[in-house]
Chain A
Amino acid sequence: MPVILPPARRAFHAARVLVASALLARAPAAMAHGFGQRFDLPLPLWLWLTGAGATIVVTFLLIAVFVRESHPLQRYPRFDLLRWPPARWVVNRGMAAFLRIVAALLFVVTLLAGLLGNPDPYSNLITTMVWVVWWVGVAFFCALIGDLWSVINPWSTLFAAAERAFAAMSGRRLSLALRYPGWLGAWPAVLVFLGFAWAELIWPEKNVPDRLAAVLLGYSICTWLGMFVFGREAWLRHAEAFTLAFGVLSRFAPLEFVERADGTPSLYLRPFGAGLVSERPVSWSFMVFVILMLATVTFDGFQETALMQRIDTFTQTSHVVASALFDLSELGLEESLVTHTLTLVAFVIAFVAIFWIVNGISLRGARARAGEARASTHFVACSFVLTLVPIAVAYHLSHYFSLLLTAGQFVIPLASDPFGWGWNLFGTAGYKVNLAIVSPYVFWYSAVAIIVLGHVVAVFLAHGVAVRLFGRQALVREVPMVVLMVGYTCLSLWILAQPIVG
């Protein structure tokens, strides 16, 4: 099961061997997402039913409102914050350079801690840094504030430094500068993200510092090779999985950074979700990438439900499945590992298939109409896909914010002792994590409120897209998509109402 799938061939072999060796040796299995455990109480039944009911009611209300207002998002209001001097003191080139250097230093320290530091996951900076601060924390920042990752991406910073050094020495560009092939699209990112999700959710060694560091290093090498072959900007724009993932999330965010051709920067304030309405449909591979993100976020929660446990039990008791799994376990693949991996892949395929079918249904009987010659299922699916993102963002926030506030506290002791060698740089090494920081009431009510709000934004955006695609027929045509959204929202709430097992 490759965590990193190199997009080009031979040159990546070394990295592959590195990654493969990291994956072969096995360690204790603990099935839970990322790092740290969530101790959230399940939503009470009445609250999940209220949330689901509210979802359906607000959907109808929104549709009733839209009947009169037909073009809600053709032009959204935005305000350039950089016209306001205090904003320019905070947001400027100096600050960006500072953040970039800090992020690159943190990256190096994290990697070194993983490779050389204490093997205990709670004493080593890398596990908290990768799974909590970076994957949960940066994702939250991107979704709620703006695209921080594109500014601080340490792979980009370090490669850019190498580019400058190389140019100074040889006067040439550090890149083969091959044209990024169109057919490759976002596929490298799709494969990497699938591998990443597998590592986050299923890989038994995700919390073993030196293994995690080996994979991080392997992916870094792949990324730098990609930048070397196709150029840094091109690789980031088309193929770097995390630039795309954080980019998708930050389309939801209220801040948008634009640099005009003459170099004048603007930092626009816009409504939440406005960035998800694109003028043109996204590419097929990018659509799969977005659906993959949605599917893995949902699988993350699903994996901790009793239903997943029943699937596990079923595979162990069903004779045919169990004997097939036993054969695999002879090869060194643990049974539950195989079951969970297959379920993850099934989730992704099911999400893509359902989304495709729903778009097909909304097109039924439409082809014959004049002016809709362009409308194929492909075209419609690639136009609608981003409107589902607010629900995924909302679910992600609800699912993780207590984890961010509890497991995130590990940063305090780790700042003083990143390698787990008994240092106490800032005098905080003895800090004990306070698990009671988030009251279950805060978790319950904010989780439901956030998910219902996310749903409202999603339905609103879907209507905007439907108006653009179908004109006066928008309301009829968006019904299948809205039904899908109600189902997706209720599924997200249902998962939060399940007791965490496993």
Chain B
Amino acid sequence: MCRAFAAALVGVAILAPAAYAAEHKVLALPLVNGALHDPGQTVRVKQGDEVELRWSSDRPLALHLHGYDIESRVAPGKPAVMSFKATIPGRFPVEVHGQHGAAHRAVMYLEVYP
């Protein structure tokens, strides 16, 4: 364990990013039949980026970005925007939360790299 953590610390020291200019990332995400064109699409951003996920849908849905814990309702003609600063690194699903206890289904993954 000790050695593992030492290795990890050395790794962090070497690879910790130098100054990184945060970007503003805007993505248009049209849902058709409750899914994106590429099911399981992964959006990659850098930690510190300003992210805007712009959802549109041909049917009413409740979307939930896990980890950042942002919920949005989207409906035909009523697009929804999830706007946030990507402060937490990791891989986070955006799930459709159905009614009546239907299975939670991931429509997209957000990967925030350090």
Q: Chain A residues in contact with chain B, CB under 8 A?
A: 27-30, 37, 39-42, 144, 306, 309, 336, 435-436, 439-442, 444-446, 449-450, 453, 499-502
Contact = CB atoms under 8 A, between A and B. Distances in A.
B101 A439 contact: no
A499 B67 CA distance: 16
B66 A37 contact: yes
Contacts of A501: 40, 106, 109
Given A435-B88, A439-B89, A502 B8 contact: no
Contacts of A27: 101
Contacts of B102: 28
B90 A441 contact: no
Contact of B109 (A144, A435, A442, A499): A499
Contacts of B5: 442, 446
B60 to A, nearest CB: 19
Given A39-B88, A499-B111, 8 more contacts: A29-B104, A39-B91, A441-B8, A442-B9, A445-B10, A449-B3, A449-B8, A501-B40
B4 A499 contact: no
Interface residues of B, number: 31
Interface in B99-114: 101-104, 106, 109, 111, 113-114
Contacts of B66: 37, 39
Contacts of A502: 106
Contact of A440 (B92, B109, B113): B113
Interface in B65-114: 66-67, 87-92, 101-104, 106, 109, 111, 113-114
B101 to A, nearest CB: 4
Given A28-B104, A440-B114, A441-B114, A435 B90 contact: yes
B103 A29 contact: yes
Given A30-B104, A441-B16, A499-B109, A42 B8 contact: no
B40 to A, nearest CB: 6
Given A449-B7, A453-B3, A39 B40 contact: no
Contacts of B103: 28-30, 336
Contacts of A42: 91
A83 to B, nearest CB: 24
A208 to B, nearest CB: 11
Contacts of B92: 39
Contacts of B7: 445-446, 449
A27 B111 CA distance: 29
B15 to A, nearest CB: 6
B4 A41 contact: no
Contacts, number: 81
Interface string B1-19: 1011101111110011000
5 contacts: A39-B90, A439-B12, A446-B5, A500-B91, A501-B109
A440 B8 contact: no
A446 B3 CA distance: 9
Nearest to B14: A441
Among A27, A29, A306, A436, the most chain B Cβ lie within 10 Å of the Cβ of A436
Contact of A436 (B15, B42, B89): B89
A440 B90 contact: yes
B91 A40 contact: yes
A445 B113 CA distance: 15
A441 B4 contact: no
Contacts of A37: 66-67
Nearest to A31: B103
A453 B88 CA distance: 29
Contacts of A39: 66-67, 88, 90-92
A60 B2 CA distance: 24
Contacts of A306: 40
A61 B99 CA distance: 57
Nearest to B104: A30
B97 to A, nearest CB: 9
Given A28-B101, A41-B113, A446-B8, A435 B67 contact: yes
Q: Considering residues B9, B103, B113, which has the most beta carbons from chain A within 10 angstroms of its beta carbon?
A: B103
Among the interface residues B1, B40, B66, B102, which one has the most CB atoms of the partner chain A within 10 A? B1
A401 to B, nearest CB: 10
A445 B12 contact: yes
Given A30-B103, A435-B67, A441-B12, A450 B91 contact: no
Contacts of A28: 101-104
Contacts of A29: 103-104
A455 to B, nearest CB: 13
Nearest to B5: A446
